[in-house]
């Protein structure tokens, strides 16, 4: 029996899905679209008059990405504060600078997160991350459920993005940089 | 002039439109910011209540999600608790099983407290909650286990740990519980059926759970306690070996109701089990049984007004010890009275607990949240009968000894008042403190003032430190205070509470949002622990114990397709027995415990998992010359399938795959062999959600 179990784990090479904190996913899905609207240059990011909120996921996390989409649609009912939106689900491997996006939200991946950050910078859009550790790779925002709910922002990336946040938001966030991770 | 007026008018209009636009923009921005703040507050509240932010809380806690445990094939609360770092389990001759946290007094039952949806359910008779350990996992949304006494300053005394079981009656916006039907079948002809149902209107929420389960478990045991001469050398030959009746039959109905600011929580648990190894340590008959019913009803009022929050609760709880059994075998000879057909007995003791509590929380002072209030408890035995075969003639027919030779004090009662206060002080973004105290007075010996102080320091997103000092106590159980006319147990109302001073420190390294390594150090100074033995059956404050150790816990993944959880705990210390005047290593305690599970997601809907547990060897109590209790390791495995379209799931589990001999220690001079547990078993679970 021992050998059977061992062999099973060795030879099964299908890979399906990271585990996610369901409450954190919901918190981020509720709050991130509102953060995006606090960009004074949001109008410049509209694509065909709409906000394209792009969720980037690993193939195995497709169900998680769908759940987030469903949650956002139930909460926002087609409009982010008056702006029509579309949720675009894109696999990590398909993401490129040609991908339509007004903002990017990335789930977990073992791939090069810096590539995503570079695409976001090039496009001048905000990149949100499920995992706060990805801010070190150049993404802009994450949110954690700590003693209180904390919105993290990578200070270094703020100044090279083509975004301009209202000052009140900057007073709400906790800055993170390479020294203060 | 006209042109100038027109020009001025246009400029005025432009400025006005600009102002209106800016005002409008500013109003929209303010509205968005307000909405973000409100959402952040909402999720913070939910995360705190559901312990999602456990690493930032000022106590040592492990949280297990019911759905993850279902994937692992965990069947009930007991199996889930065996995954907790530093937690082991013990049993006794009536199979009152009790979790042991960090090796703290395995002989006592009330070392930890069990809460179901916030209601303390430890029974008064033993101060145990063995009857709830079979609570099916499908009815449990989450289990929060706080090790150490540092969890409570609100009128509850968690001595070595507290277990909070949250059912699916917990309801938040964004995370409603689904209605469900569950069926299970397994070894020992185990059958279970249950459901969870919700009903909601705008102001009213009603949650109902029900389950029925039974099995015919019996495990080969013996020779029984008579072999040790506990009823004299002339009865040793009557000792038997055979199947100990460990069967279960129980049903439970739980109702949670919320109406505006009011709540009602009620449960009726009817638990019946086989008489196991015998009240008098003689192997009982297959049909002999112990009933441990538990009922509670709690009414609550919760209101937030500005910076104030008030919580008022009142409730009643009933628990009963009800045994019908053949206590001793045919032809027993006691003081030359021959009991040709053996000795039969019926023991019944019903207890009632009434309580009322009021707490006020005030968060109007910058960075402080102060909570203060009281809890009043009135506990008493409301009915007791004691029947035995005729002690004078040896005739088997039952004689009512309720008034002449009762097994229990029928007038047992205790009143308790607990006053508590605590302040949660957020010093800055990184450092927070909680300090406070419980002050308790009872109608017997008081525990007095018990302080607690803790600090959480978050160095950065990856490193968190905690330190905790707390003092708590365990009041003697009814059995320890009021048992009488019994060879094995003699109660005493002179018992002082057991006291523990606990020093704890924790370091948490977060590798990512969902993976971490946590290390806990603890040093526990236990005074006046309550103890008895077959040589001196009177309960007394006889043992002081110093315990120290550490726990390491890891949760994360190896690949993107799996989940891995591992923990290891080490405990050591000295036990000083006052009346013998000698020190010894900790008896009945495994110094090394290691547990873990691994879930491999074969695809989005199918997973294969394994649970591994290692429990180290255990020293015997002083004077017990038997070999150490042997170490054991066990492996369980489960295949879980979930159909997201039709919302049903099926799980097939094999427990103890390698058929390991698992034993829990028996007390000296009772059963010479330790109490054997289940060998390899299987379980099939079907669940349908709506």
The residue-averaged pLDDT of A11-25 equals 67
Q: How far apart are CA B577 and CA B526, in angstroms?
A: 12
Mean pLDDT (chain A, rounded): 83
Q: Which domain holds residue B102?
A: 50-689
Angstrom CA distances, B18 to B23, B26, B31, B221, stand at 8, 12, 19, 89
Q: How many CB atoms are located within 10 Å of the residue B440 CB?
A: 22
Residues B136 and B177 grouped into a single domain? yes
ipTM above 0.90, yes or no: no
Residues B582 and B620 grouped into a single domain? yes
Structural domains in chain A, sorted by start = 20-176 (3.40.50.2300)
Contact B29 A108 (CB under 8 A): no
Q: How many CB atoms are located within 10 Å of the residue B369 CB?
A: 17
Residues B595 and B537 grouped into a single domain? yes
Buried b (16+ CB within 10 A) or exposed e, A81-109: bebebebbebebeebeeeeebbbbbbbbb
Q: Which chain B residues have a beta carbon less than 8 Å from that of A9? A: 600
| pLDDT tens-digit map of A35-57 | 988 888 888 888 988 999 999 99
Residues B30 and B168 grouped into a single domain? no
The secondary element (H helix, E strand) that includes residue B15 is helix B2-49
For chain A, the C-alpha Rg in angstroms (whole number) is 17
| Contact call for residues B162 and B156 (beta carbons, < 8 A) | yes
CA distance A137 to chain B (A): 13
The whole model's pTM is what?
Answer: 0.90
Contact A166 B461 (CB under 8 A): no
* Spatial CB neighbours of B675, under 8 Å, sequence gap ≥ 6: B91, B95, B221, B244, B277, B663, B664, B665, B666
- Nearest by Cα to B162 from B102, B110, B114, B108: B114
Q: How far apart are CA B12 and CA B30, in angstroms?
A: 26
Instruction: Please tell me the predicted confidence (pLDDT) of residue A14.
Output: 40
Contact A21 B514 (CB under 8 A): yes
Tally the C-alpha atoms within 13 A of residue B451's C-alpha that lie toward its C-beta: 6
Residues B539 and B465 grouped into a single domain? yes
Residues B29 and B149 grouped into a single domain? no
Which of B261-270, B385-394, B482-491, B503-512 shows the lowest per-residue confidence on average (mean pLDDT)?
A: B482-491
| pLDDT tens-digit map of B508-532 | 999 988 899 999 999 999 999 998 8
- Extract the tokens encoding B467: 């330190």
Residue of A nearest to B28 (CA): A81
Q: How far apart are CA B128 and CA B151, in angstroms?
A: 19
Q: Which chain B residues have a beta carbon less than 8 Å from that of A166? A: 29, 33
| pLDDT tens-digit map of B416-451 | 999 999 999 999 889 999 999 999 999 998 888 999
Q: How many CB atoms are located within 10 Å of the residue B667 CB?
A: 20
- Which of B12, B32, B49 delimits the end of a domain? B49
- Extract the tokens encoding B489: 């147990």
Residues B554 and B684 grouped into a single domain? yes
Q: How far apart are CA A127 and CA A117, in angstroms?
A: 7
Contact A133 B512 (CB under 8 A): yes
The beta-carbon neighbor of A149 closest among B40, B432, B604 is: B40
Judged by DSSP in three states, B47 sits in helix
| Contact call for residues B110 and B127 (beta carbons, < 8 A) | yes
Number of domains, chain B: 2
Residue pairs spanning A and B at CB distance below 8 A: 136
Q: Among residues of chain B, what percentage have pLDDT more than 90?
A: 75
| Contact call for residues B588 and B629 (beta carbons, < 8 A) | yes
Q: Tokens 């460990």 sit at which residue? A: B246
Contact B604 A60 (CB under 8 A): yes
Residues B558 and B677 grouped into a single domain? yes
Which of the two residues, B169 and A161, has the higher pLDDT score?
A: B169
Q: Which chain B residues have a beta carbon less than 8 Å from that of A20? A: 514
- Nearest by Cα to B123 from B372, B280, B281, B321: B321
3-state secondary structure B362-405: ECCCCCEEEEEEEEEEEEEEEEEEEEEECCCCCCCCEEECCCCC
pLDDT at B558 over 80: yes
Contact A17 B604 (CB under 8 A): yes
Residue of A nearest to B513 (CA): A131
The residue-averaged pLDDT of B28-45 equals 88
Residue of B nearest to A20 (CA): B514
Residues B659 and B640 grouped into a single domain? yes
Q: Which chain A residues have a beta carbon less than 8 Å from that of B52? A: 21, 23-24, 145
Which of A10-14, A50-54, B303-307, B371-375 shows the lowest per-residue confidence on average (mean pLDDT)?
A: A10-14
Residue of A nearest to B463 (CA): A181
Residue of A nearest to B637 (CA): A5
We report the CATH number of the domain holding residue B379 as 2.40.170.20
Chain-centroid distance of CA B319 in Å reads 17
- Nearest by Cα to A125 from A156, A145, A142, A103: A103
Residue B488 DSSP one-character state: S
- Nearest by Cα to B168 from B66, B91, B51, B17: B66
CA distance B367 to chain A (A): 12
pLDDT at A102 over 60: yes
The secondary element (H helix, E strand) that includes residue B33 is helix B2-49
Residues B135 and B25 grouped into a single domain? no
Q: Exposed (0-12), middle (13-18) or buried (19+): which is B682, by Cβ within 10 Å?
A: middle
- Extract the tokens encoding B543: 């043992």
Residues B114 and B231 grouped into a single domain? yes
Contact A166 B50 (CB under 8 A): no
Residues B560 and B648 grouped into a single domain? yes
Mean pLDDT (chain B, rounded): 91
The beta-carbon neighbor of B44 closest among A37, A149, A168 is: A149
Angstrom CA distances, B612 to B15, B195, B632, B634, stand at 73, 30, 11, 6
The beta-carbon neighbor of B561 closest among A1, A14, A24 is: A14
Q: How far apart are CA B184 and CA B682, in angstroms?
A: 11
């Amino acid at each position: 029996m021992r050998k059977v179990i061992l062999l099973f784990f060795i030879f099964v090479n299908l890979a399906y899905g990271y585990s996610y904190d369901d409450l954190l996913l919901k918190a981020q899905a509720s709050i991130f679209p509102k953060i995006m609207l606090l960009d004074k240059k949001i109008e410049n990011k509209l694509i065909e008059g709409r906000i394209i909120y792009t969720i980037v996921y690993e193939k195995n996390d497709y169900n998680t990405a769908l759940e987030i989409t469903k949650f956002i649609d139930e909460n926002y009912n087609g409009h982010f504060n008056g702006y029509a939106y579309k949720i675009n689900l894109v696999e990590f491997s398909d993401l490129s600078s040609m991908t339509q996006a007004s903002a990017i939200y990335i789930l977990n991946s073992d791939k090069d997160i810096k590539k995503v950050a570079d695409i976001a910078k090039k496009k001048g859009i905000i990149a949100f991350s499920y995992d706060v550790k990805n801010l070190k790779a150049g993404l802009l925002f994450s949110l954690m459920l700590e003693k209180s709910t904390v919105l993290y922002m990578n200070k270094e990336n703020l100044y090279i993005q083509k975004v301009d946040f209202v000052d009140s938001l900057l007073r709400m966030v906790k800055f993170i940089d390479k020294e203060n991770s | 002039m006209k042109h100038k007026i027109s020009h001025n008018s246009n400029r005025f209009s432009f400025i006005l439109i600009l102002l209106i636009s800016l005002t409008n923009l500013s109003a929209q921005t303010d509205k968005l910011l307000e909405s973000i703040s409100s959402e952040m507050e909402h999720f913070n509240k939910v995360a705190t209540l559901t312990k999602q932010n456990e690493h930032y809380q000022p106590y040592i806690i492990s949280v297990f999600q019911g759905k993850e445990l279902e994937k692992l094939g965990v069947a009930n609360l007991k199996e889930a608790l065996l995954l907790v770092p530093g937690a082991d389990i013990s049993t006794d001759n009536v199979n009152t099983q009790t979790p042991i946290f960090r090796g703290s007094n395995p002989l006592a039952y009330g070392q930890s407290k069990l809460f179901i949806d916030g209601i303390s359910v430890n029974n008064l008779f033993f101060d145990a909650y063995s009857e709830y350990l079979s609570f099916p996992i499908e009815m449990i949304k989450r289990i929060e286990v706080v090790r150490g006494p540092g969890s409570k300053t609100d009128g509850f005394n968690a001595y070595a740990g507290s277990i909070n079981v949250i059912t699916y009656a917990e309801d938040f916006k964004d995370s409603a519980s689904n209605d469900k039907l569950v069926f299970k079948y397994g070894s020992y002809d185990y059958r279970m059926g249950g459901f969870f149902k919700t009903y909601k209107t705008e102001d009213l929420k009603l949650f109902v759970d029900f389950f029925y389960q039974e099995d015919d478990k019996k495990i080969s045991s013996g020779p029984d306690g008579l072999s040790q001469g506990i009823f004299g050398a002339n009865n040793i030959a009557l000792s038997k070996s055979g199947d100990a009746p460990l069967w279960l039959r129980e049903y439970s109905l739980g109702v949670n109701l919320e109406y505006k600011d009011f709540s009602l929580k009620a449960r009726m648990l009817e638990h019946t089990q086989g008489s196991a190894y015998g009240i008098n340590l003689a192997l009982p008959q297959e049909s002999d049984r112990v009933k441990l019913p538990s009922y509670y009803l709690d009414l609550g009022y919760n209101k937030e007004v500005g910076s104030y929050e008030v919580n008022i609760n009142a409730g009643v709880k009933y628990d009963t010890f009800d045994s019908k059994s053949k206590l001793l075998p045919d032809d027993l000879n006691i003081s030359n009275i021959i009991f040709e057909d053996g000795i039969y007995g019926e023991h019944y003791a019903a207890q009632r607990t009434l309580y009322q509590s009021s707490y006020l929380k005030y968060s109007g002072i910058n960075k402080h949240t102060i909570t203060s209030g009281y809890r009043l408890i009135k506990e008493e035995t409301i009915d007791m009968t004691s029947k035995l075969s005729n002690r004078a003639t040896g005739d088997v027919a039952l004689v009512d000894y309720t008034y002449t030779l009762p097994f229990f004090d029928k007038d047992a009662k205790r009143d308790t008042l607990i006053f508590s206060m605590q302040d949660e002080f957020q010093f800055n973004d990184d450092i927070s403190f909680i300090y406070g105290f419980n002050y308790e007075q009872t109608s017997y010996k008081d525990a007095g003032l018990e302080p607690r102080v803790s600090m959480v320091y978050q160095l950065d997103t990856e490193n968190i430190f905690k330190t905790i000092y707390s003092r708590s106590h365990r009041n003697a159980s009814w059995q320890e205070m009021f048992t009488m006319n019994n060879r094995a147990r003699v109660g005493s109302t002179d018992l002082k509470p057991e006291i523990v001073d606990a020093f704890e420190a924790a370091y948490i390294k977060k590798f990512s949002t969902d993976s971490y390594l946590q290390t806990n150090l603890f040093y526990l100074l236990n005074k006046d622990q309550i103890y008895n033995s077959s040589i001196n059956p009177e309960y007394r404050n006889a043992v002081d114990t110093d315990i120290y150790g550490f726990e390491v816990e890891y949760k994360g993944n190896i690949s993107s397709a799996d989940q891995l959880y591992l923990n290891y705990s080490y405990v050591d210390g000295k036990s000083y027995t006052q009346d013998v005047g000698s020190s010894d290593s900790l008896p009945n305690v495994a110094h090394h415990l290691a547990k873990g599970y691994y879930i491999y997601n074969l695809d989005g809907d199918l997973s294969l998992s394994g649970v591994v547990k290692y429990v180290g060897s255990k020293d015997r109590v002083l004077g017990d010359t038997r070999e150490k209790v042997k170490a054991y390791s066990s492996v369980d495995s489960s295949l879980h399938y979930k159909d997201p379209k039709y919302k049903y799931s099926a799980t097939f589990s094999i427990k103890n795959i390698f058929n390991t001999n698992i034993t829990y220690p028996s007390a000296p001079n009772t059963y010479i062999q330790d109490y054997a547990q289940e060998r390899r078993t299987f379980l099939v679970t079907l669940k349908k959600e709506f």
